[in-house]
A = this chain, B = another copy of it.
Amino acid sequence: MSNSADIDDREEGLTLNPKFDASGLITCVATDAASGELLMVAHMNDEALRKTVESGEAWYFSRSRNALWRKGETSGHTQRVVEMRIDCDQDAVWLRVEQKGAACHTGRRSCFYRRVDAGKGRAELSFVDADRVVDPETVYGKHT
């Protein structure tokens, strides 16, 4: 357990001291710097965080591929970091970015293209802002 001096320093100090989880990852939220739109939620390991700070381009860690990943390295849909913030307990990062093309691998601008509504007994989804800005097959080849 952390003691309260550790907590005060992490929450009120000016030292970057990210709290990585048991897998060595921290959650990262990317929003469009101009519109404020939520684009995606992903993860960073220590190296991705460092490369993002140093380069001003978003790097992530892919849990499914278990690999460091420069956003846009395959698609060209890079994210230039306009501002980076960290939250109170330093277990989440917020990137305000200039997004080229589509943030989502499905070709949509944002990954959040479905709304959840309360239905009769269970939730229902509906598409919203779901137009593809690029064709994922063109960008990635076979769409998986």
Contact = CB atoms under 8 A, between A and B. Distances in A.
A16 B122 contact: yes
B38 A114 contact: no
Given A86-B125, A116-B84, A123-B53, A41 B14 contact: no
Contacts of A115: 83-85
Interface residues of A, number: 51
Contact of A87 (B36, B92, B112): B112
- Determine which residue in A54, A84, A85 has the highest number of CB atoms from chain B within 10 A of its CB, and name it: A85
A27 interface: yes
Contacts of A31: 36, 38
A46 to B, nearest CB: 12
Contacts of A89: 111
A68 interface: no
Given A14-B124, A40-B87, A92-B111, 6 more contacts: A7-B144, A27-B27, A83-B115, A85-B115, A86-B112, A94-B112
Interface of A: 4, 7, 11-16, 27, 29, 31, 35-38, 40-41, 53-54, 56, 83-89, 91-94, 104-106, 108, 111-118, 122-128, 144
13 contacts: A11-B106, A13-B125, A14-B114, A14-B124, A29-B38, A53-B123, A84-B116, A85-B116, A86-B114, A88-B104, A88-B113, A89-B111, A94-B112
